[in-house]
Amino acid sequence: MSAATTGPAAGDPLAALRAAAQARTEARAASKAAHAARRAENARPKRSADELRAIVERGRRELHGRGTPGVPDGDHPEATAEQVVAWAVREFGDSIAVACSMADAVLPHVVARQAPWVDVLFLETGYHFPETSGTRDAVEQQMEVTIVDVLPRLTVAQQDEAHGKDLWSRDPAACCAMRKVEPLTRTLGEYEVWVTGVRRDEAPTRTGTPLVTWDEKNGLVKINPLAAWSFDDLLGYAADHQVILNPLLNDGYPSIGCAPCTRRVAPGEDPRAGRWAGLDKTECGLHV
């Protein structure tokens, strides 16, 4: 019998709900603290680039199957997203960073099922849609993940002062370099592997995405467990597991970036056509 049915909240449905919510909050906090303590106890120095590259080679042999774009043919099927994550947890323990743009929380969900309280990196550029910031907050409040806000060195106001207002409209490459690429590279230095939600079907530049690779630019392992998924697979997983989605996904934004650089796309249009529309730019520099 719960405390709510025997204690002061008995007979008061609202008080019972409040007590249940409080108990859930306390259980989450205790679980998170226990994880943090375990993680601190097991902390070890980051392994060398050569050691990590050897792990990548092992991963390529274990995870990639016959017909994987850009990878020599193996003699087994390509690993599933769950198998890729299981491999990462075995190889890297807690030194895992999950990148999430908060278009949806599918990738954090897939990883956190096997690595509760895993770090989820959110690039806080200062230019997000309110819906994206709301999704970030909902993920932090409802899921067993640890949100890490990755901040640029300059606030938007400081950047305006140093480089002129709305740099994104004149030089989006420089703006992305300062607000996304540099902060992410700086943060990834603490980890051995990062996990991305890049899918092969997203853009012609992404058709060769491997499940596991060495990220030369950032000096760590990169895995893409959802590489083989379609957008429908993603939505299907979200529906099956009641995963949080950014409301903009259902409002004409199949790909969501910073507000000034993202527009709605028409039905049937390339899903990434709304990113930096009218410019030559198709990637922010994180995955190239």
CB of 177 to ligand SF4, least distance (A): 8
Using CB under 6 A as the criterion, which residues of the chain lie in contact with ligand SF4 when the complex forms?
Answer: 125, 127, 168, 172, 175-176, 179-180, 257-258, 260-261, 284
> What does the alpha-carbon distance between residue 242 and residue 151 come to, in Å, rounded to a whole number?
29
Q: How far lies 135's CA from each of 8, 121, 234, in Å?
A: 35, 13, 17
Nearer to ligand SF4, 60 or 179 (CB): 179
CB of 265 to ligand SF4, least distance (A): 16
Nearer to ligand SF4, 116 or 126 (CB): 126
Task: Write the single-letter amino acid at 244.
Answer: I
CB of 68 to ligand SF4, least distance (A): 30
| Edge-to-edge order in the sheet of strand 220-223 | 145-150, 118-123, 96-99, 193-195, 220-223, 212-215
Nearer to ligand SF4, 145 or 286 (CB): 286
> What does the alpha-carbon distance between residue 189 and residue 76 come to, in Å, rounded to a whole number?
33
CB of 136 to ligand SF4, least distance (A): 15
Are the C-beta atoms of 42 and 93 separated by less than 8 Å? yes
Closest residue to ligand SF4, Cβ-based? 258
Nearer to ligand SF4, 71 or 123 (CB): 123
Closest of 183, 189, 175, 33 to residue 122, by C-alpha: 183
Residue 175 designated active-site: no
Give the residue numbers annotated as catalytic, written as ranges.
Answer: 284
